A and B are shown apart, each in its own frame.
Chain A
Amino acid sequence: MTVLGNLCLWLAFLVGVWGALAGFVGGVRGQPELAQSGRHAVFAMCAALLVAVFSLEWALFKHDFNVEYVAAYTSQNLPVFYTWSALYAGQKGSLLFWATVLSLFGSLAMVFTARRHRVYLPYVAAVVCTVAAFFISVMLFAHANPFQRLPYTPLDGSGLNPQLQNPGMVFHPPMLYLGYISITIPFAFAIAALLSKRLDVDWLVAIRKWTLVSWLFLSIGICLGMWWAYVELGWGGYWAWDPVENASLLPWLTMTAFLHSVMIQEKRGMLKKWNLALIIGSWLLSIFGTFITRSGVISSVHSFTQSNVGYFFLFFLIAAGTASFALYATRLPLLDAEAKLESMVSREASFLFNNLLLVGIAFSVLWGTLFPILSELVQGTKVTVGPPFFNQVNIPLGLALLGLTGIGPLIAWRRASLPNLRRQFAVPATVGAFTLLVLLVGGMRDFSALMAIGLGAFVLGTVVQEFARGAGARHRQYEEGYALALGRLLARNRRRYGGYIVHTGIVILFIAFAGMAFKTETEATLRPGESVSLKSPYGWTYTFTHLGISQYDALNRQVTAATVEVYRNGKKTGILTTEKRQHVDALGRPTFQPSTEVGIISDVREDLYGVLAGVVGGTEQAVFRFTINPLVWWVWYGGMIVALGGLIVMWPGGTPAVKRSQPGYAVRLVGERK
């Protein structure tokens, strides 16, 4: 099967090169046959790559340990679930996964792009083929071929890193990858618009859904990553500002900025240059993210196997960035704004500030991530910045952004009047101020947390007010019941009200992040029967009593489990079980380092998080770390609400055609009707 896989890789590479040439030349010269051949190349490449994926999966399931990749990431006793996901567990497989998914997305774009946007497709095909061919070339020419065979056949494989043997890890990488990869489609449309000089609002309409798709996948991928880090890594938190985490946040931030600023271009014909730059930037950041994850240029705890894959990516990043921005520069004269900013107190202005903040946050995260490299270049000594830097910079910026989340959607376009401001903000501002007062009286003194929760209440106030007003209007006008009115309101204005739901999720996330300001922690060495106490931020005293150690063998691991009884203010609330796992191969020999399985008792107020750090040899005396993490539960539910809102916004149908608050646009609308 590896012969077939190799063959398919070569085939896909050649077809990709052809598609890139045919698409570009066919598009520029206006030769329809050539352009069509370019589009078809995307399908052909997709088919070849799918066969290659199938071959690799075949080798994985057949335990063909003569294939180096199979031997490196699976073993006889690896559960089937994880054998399947070993496709993207390693570098080589994930390159194949990238190229395949890209060609799949490209094919979908070829099929589902509306007829009136078809002029862009030859260029889109060319860009997709170029990027996919690059990824295939890395596999073929940078010693990263997943079908590489070994000179001998090991009896068993090395198995999968135990930290990856977690359901969250099966879905987290592909979700993140789907997000990274799908940014290529809007980017391809942006390049197509630049090349074809059709730079009116049309190309934006063509990619609106695609940008949401990648934004949604990125959001889900990031949330799953947080969840995995929290339940699997055992350090008691979900976000460590690690370079790899930062790399996934960067395109998310710029995509979020784009999703907002694009509304200004649709409504007012402004920000065209900015929007194009955001899309190109987001795509470059997605490649940069893959580069960071895969090259290990930045010293983090994840240094990656030495390979020259990093150089390929660096070269591609520089070449693609230079080419894109050079093209962009030649088209700048075509991108002049059609309107001017009329007032600082307007929706345009608040969106502009929102964009500046999002890009500012992205820039500071990028800066902090690259700081070790930059400081070494400039000063000769490596200086690193860690979580304190990112928190110090991003908490104020994040809070300002949270405030704008409440203001932006409600303030009038063009120029807001005083009565408009009073009508929109009187109630939410009161809600926010009242919440702040209650917290202050309740004894909360952490400034950032107070601001996060106060501003969060203000934003929630605006959202509730919007839903209530909208549903109330429907109730009066169509005499619908309130529930029906609310449902129809949402269904008929998905973009607007779905957006409010996303905002609700973001507010919940901010409040949950604020909760981490109050986490408490203790370490203790306990014999069976002994206990340790920890005060929770709500004023309760938790007592953790070590009951004892048990040892047993499971499918592919030896487990040492500690059972801990938990009391709140003297009343029993539950049992925590935390484990040390030593993974073994089919013959019972240990593989990998021992890993820790965290015990968590979670409710809406706080998580009790217990880690078995070690057992004193031969006894039942054990070392524990207990953490109380307030409001973590809300991170997961906030994330789900964000995803739900995103789904509502992108659900097909129901989105009204582009309307502008500008005379003279009606003429153009006629041409835009389906």
Chain B
Amino acid sequence: MLEVKNLVKKFGDVEALKDLSFSALDGQITGLLGPNGAGKTTALRVLYGMLKADDGVGYINGIDSQLDPIGARRQIGIFPDKFGLYERLTAREQISYFAELHGLTGDKKDKALEKIITKLDIADIADRRCAGFSQGQRMKVVLAQSLVHEPKNLILDEPTRGLDVMSTRILRDILVDLKAQGICILFSSHVMQEVAALCDKVIVIADGKIADEGTPAELCERTGKDSLEEAFVSLIGSDEGIAA
């Protein structure tokens, strides 16, 4: 369960988040939809305590991430917008490192490693160094490192950016599978199709505020439009920065 309440964040004179509140429930996929620069990444960074909010709070499973960022981060797996792999480490070393950061050691760690490597089908690249990996392979390694400690919440920031069709499909299948296990999934995107296909709930952000929220069908109904894309454009008042 993820929740942010009344978030305000300023960078100098620019107000990136203006009283932003939303929540993501367990066993659901919640999409943060918004044009480039709407404040999606900023909202996520505040949620896991990377950025200090000027006002408001972020809760991860009830833990205030501004007060106890480390405790809050133990509850989540993060799939960042920029992968940031250690090019000189092998995939296994990389995943193992993140498992250790989440407190797994010894047998427990080894078992978790084997489990996630098998689950994501990356045994063939597990002992190769990350330099030279394709974007799809990188995506899998990053996903493996964010899931190795079996978090109850998964946050993905623009996960399909730069991925080919096959990799995107694999990622979607995994997310659906995780949802079935009761995991709370929050992902930000500016890709309509992806959000429409996956999300139980869509939160539309524009200019640092919530423009609307609900299921894709509800959004269409409220705006009187046929497709989510039309509904979105009508909500934010422009189609700038949105991919179909």
* Chain B associates with chain A: no
